[in-house]
Structures are given as C-alpha cells and as structure tokens.
Amino acid sequence: MTDDITSVGGGSRPDTRVNALKGRTGAGTPAGTRGKTTIADGVVAKIAGTAAREVPGIHSLGAGMARALGAMRERVPGGGGGGGVTRGVKVEVGERQAAVDLDVVVEYGVSIVDVAGGVRTNVISAVERMTGLEVVEVNIAVDDVHLPDDEEEQTEPDEGRVR
C-alpha cells in the first residue's frame, strides 16, 4: 500500500497540507460554492428594519419605551444613535433560515392588515434576496397608532422654556 505524496518546490519534503485538504471540494466545483458564508444576526436585523420602514403606513419601529430611550440616545453625542435601524427588530438566524419579529407603529387611518402584509412581503423579499436565507416567518406586533396630532404637540415649544 502506497500513498501519493505531493512535493512542493525543489525540496524532498512532502507538503503536509495535502492531507489536511482531503475531502474538500476543489477545482472542479464553481468558485462561488467553495467555502462557507456566515451572516450575523445584526446584518439580517438591519435589512429587515430598513425593509419594514420602506412600507407606506409604517410610522416607526419599536415599542413605546424602546422608542423613547432610542430618541434620547440619538440626542446625546456618542450615545449610539446608529441603533435606530434595528430598534423594534429581533431575528433568529440559522444556517439556511431566518425568523423575524417586528414591533411597529402604524399611521392612523391605514389598514393594519394591508400594512402588515406589505411589511411581510418587503422584509421577506429583501432578506432572501440579499442573504440567500429562507425567511420562515415574519411576526408583527402593532404596538401603537401614530395620530397626526402627536407630532404637532411634540414640535410646539413649551411656554415655560427659554427661547
């Protein structure tokens, strides 16, 4: 019984890496399939959060307390305001599948059923197209309805404030 040992270069020392590579795909397989790609949960969360916000009728993402804390964090220099994209988004990512949970606030007057369907379609399409993962579910929790009066109250200055 003899083993084939490949030598590299002019020396007589056998290449020990050859044995370590046994069983792996080689030159006969397409380059795109050689190796493993791992996608972090945060990547999928950013994609899902961005896709959800693109749907008309979505005012914001995140439950009430998360939105309030996030708004305060964004006002503080160096407070980590970049987390707004993933606020209200939770994901579970496996090797080939992903599940997404969203907390949303919808605009008053829109059909919540239609908005939820649009969010599911947009999130699934974006995540599957960009990552190649199969999205097995998109769960949506509608935490609030944004009323048109809400913004006016927040933008008007208080009488007691110094101007």
The helix (H) or strand (E) run that includes residue 134 is strand 134-146
For the full predicted model, state whether its pTM sits above 0.75.
no
Q: Say which residues have a Cβ less than 8 Å from residue 43's Cβ, sequence separation at least 6.
A: 131
The helix (H) or strand (E) run that includes residue 67 is helix 64-75
pLDDT values of the chain reduced to their tens digit, one per residue, 163 residues: 555 444 445 555 555 555 666 666 667 788 878 888 899 999 999 999 999 999 999 999 998 654 455 555 555 565 555 568 999 999 999 999 999 999 999 999 999 999 999 999 999 999 999 999 999 999 999 999 999 887 654 444 445 555 4
Tokens of 92: 């579970």
CA separation (Å) from 160 to 56, 132, 148?
37, 55, 24
